[in-house]
Structure 1
């Protein structure tokens, strides 16, 4: 096994079991490991620190796996990690209530670069690191043994693979190709999931708990669901008898899937509008036309993919939330989210305060949203906490 030596003074994060070592923290590499190869990390004195995946094309040159020198990272090690992660989700899955969730969440499940989502009897898999790409056959085999899925579909088409020197990977890995729409149930609501063409791995199961929490406020209310995608917040609000819901998304496929999801569920005569439009433009149009709502949901895509983009993203979040506040009825509720890991909750609250100031409004924070239990946050990897949200009363 090839040795990689850490620079003096860079030991703290490794000792605290943070799984990333950046290229700038490496003193030297004793050999030429292939990208994705497991290497041994030593301190400047030559003492063992950890084992990890190596990649000289990535800013994160080492993704650490194991801190005990006596442990062998072999096939059994990988199978055990997969089994532990899958078993931890058993309390989330309940027949007839929820049959979709995230089974494996990358570094937070100590499997860096591996994401697996369960959609009824089908699995959607993403591999984002070269090391995990090497282990793919073992991962697929263990998932088949544990779950016997109808299919395992590869959605490793994220642009982040380029940082690891990998090409996109897409298509069926095991079983039969999934149908165009896989029917799942979440919070007792039925959805058709397009695994092959949907965003991310097909569905945003990270908002499961937040959809249910917000729906508790929706009874008899008029709701605007922005960035509605396939209707998660829309459908949960109708389940709790919202008076009306307007759904806005720029994607024609998302809007059509949302409409078909409404048809899947037996909501009695829902008062629903589906608008395919840029959200910011549509919010300005509502403002110009004097249309207001009791509840506005803002669940935008990732505005800040890195810390370097945070300043620009902050301006975008502020303007979006200002527009949302301007079309709320007095005392209305704004449910606003950020899925940017670079955005912390303190900064997000400050942005909402700035937006309120610009809108001439007063804001009370009445609930903090977070990601659910199938998206755990490792105590040694706070970067895994990416989803945050606020329920605000706007006065």
Structure 2
């Protein structure tokens, strides 16, 4: 096996089980190495640290897999990792919930791989070159474990550019998913578009937060911003909200949401769907002096990296300021950030600034996070990306 020798003093994170080795930490390569190859990584004193996958086009030059030198990274190793990831989530699949994240990349020692189960179909995303080399093994093991109707790949990701990989979408095994797959989450039915929907088709990372937020909406007027296919909206109706206004810029999302409302038998007369840029619509609502009892702000990732954090903080502050302006005393704001670069303390500070600018006094009454099928490895805190706050206006 080819070797990677790290620069002196650049091995601390790898010894501490962090799965990323950056290109600047590498002193030299021994042997002929192709992108996606498994390599052994050593420190400057020629001591073995771990096995990993190499890629010279990525800033993360080696994604570490295994720290035990007696283990071999062979077909059985990959199959065992897939088995363990699936087994750890088995209890989350039941009559009221048939969709779950099966594999969460580095958190499951399968860096660069996402696999989501949507009813009888599996959607996967490949972010790393090394996973391309073992994709057929992973697909075969998922078939053995779960007997899905089909496995579809949605690897149309910006991150693949950094890995030197082209976009690739298509059927990997079994039947092509229909235009809409009917799934159940918390007893609510959703139509999920695996082939053309956002990400892998659905945002199952908000499963628990949708349910928790719905506990506060009975007889309330709710505004669901960045609603996508209606996760928070549908849970609000389940929670007996008096009225829900849902906003998203995507026409497909709005049409899917409307279909989901009918599909679940909720009262469409209590719902208003708006296709609009959210910030623009919030400005309009402010000008019209409209008020709501509960507002959900679940925007896309504003800070894809630490370098974008200052700009993202200003965007989050402005968005939340506009939301807070639409709440009276006692009103609730459920606000989220899926930017890994923003931690919960920074997010709290941003919301505090937003409240100050809005002339509102607030309390933080609950913190939200990602669910257990999106676990965070202690050695890889970067895996903790989703955070949220339930804010009460005083």
Query: What SS does structure 1 have at the residue aligned with 2:134?
Result: helix
Counterpart-to-counterpart distance in 2, 1:32 and 1:289: 66
Q: Deviation string for 1:249-304 (max 9, x for gaps)?
A: 00000000000000110224550000000000000000000110000100000000
Query: 2:230 — aligned with what?
Result: 231
Query: 1:349 — aligned with what?
Result: 348
* Kept in 2: contact 1:238–1:270 (CA 8 A): no
**Number of positions where the alignment pairs a residue of Structure 1 with one of Structure 2:** 394
Counterpart-to-counterpart distance in 2, 1:36 and 1:347: 36
| Structure 1 gap ranges (5+) | none
Counterpart-to-counterpart distance in 1, 2:387 and 2:269: 29
Counterpart-to-counterpart distance in 1, 2:109 and 2:91: 20
Counterpart-to-counterpart distance in 2, 1:132 and 1:380: 21
* Kept in 2: contact 1:255–1:275 (CA 8 A): yes
1:34 and 2:34 aligned: yes
* Kept in 1: contact 2:150–2:176 (CA 8 A): yes
Q: Deviation string for 1:345-385 (max 9, x for gaps)?
A: 01000000110111111110000000001000111111000
Query: 1:381 — aligned with what?
Result: 380
Counterpart-to-counterpart distance in 2, 1:98 and 1:11: 43
Counterpart-to-counterpart distance in 1, 2:162 and 2:332: 40
Counterpart-to-counterpart distance in 2, 1:339 and 1:270: 32
Q: CA RMSD in A?
A: 0.7
Within-5 A mapping of 1:1-395: 1-95=1-95, 97-268=96-267, 270-395=269-394
Counterpart-to-counterpart distance in 2, 1:82 and 1:232: 28
Query: What SS does structure 1 have at the residue aligned with 2:169?
Result: strand
* Kept in 2: contact 1:14–1:49 (CA 8 A): yes
Q: Deviation string for 1:288-333 (max 9, x for gaps)?
A: 0011000010000000000011010000000000000001122200
* Kept in 1: contact 2:261–2:268 (CA 8 A): no
Query: What SS does structure 2 have at the residue aligned with 1:286?
Result: helix
Counterpart-to-counterpart distance in 2, 1:101 and 1:269: 28
| Structure 2 gap ranges (5+) | none
Counterpart-to-counterpart distance in 2, 1:268 and 1:359: 34
Counterpart-to-counterpart distance in 2, 1:145 and 1:31: 36
* Kept in 1: contact 2:262–2:268 (CA 8 A): no
Q: Deviation string for 1:21-69 (max 9, x for gaps)?
A: 1011111111331011000101101111100000011000010000111
Counterpart-to-counterpart distance in 2, 1:171 and 1:357: 49
* Kept in 1: contact 2:367–2:389 (CA 8 A): yes
* Kept in 2: contact 1:20–1:60 (CA 8 A): yes
Counterpart-to-counterpart distance in 2, 1:9 and 1:270: 64
Change (3 A) 1:270 1:369: farther
Counterpart-to-counterpart distance in 2, 1:200 and 1:304: 17
Q: Deviation string for 1:68-111 (max 9, x for gaps)?
A: 1111111011000000000111111111x000110000000110
Q: Deviation string for 1:139-169 (max 9, x for gaps)?
A: 0100111111101000011111010000011
- TM-score (structure 1 length as normaliser): 0.99
Counterpart-to-counterpart distance in 2, 1:268 and 1:252: 21
- TM-score (structure 2 length as normaliser): 0.99
Counterpart-to-counterpart distance in 1, 2:29 and 2:345: 39
Query: What SS does structure 2 have at the residue aligned with 1:236?
Result: helix
Counterpart-to-counterpart distance in 2, 1:200 and 1:368: 25
* Kept in 2: contact 1:125–1:152 (CA 8 A): yes
Moved more, 29-38 or 113-122: 29-38
* Kept in 2: contact 1:370–1:388 (CA 8 A): yes
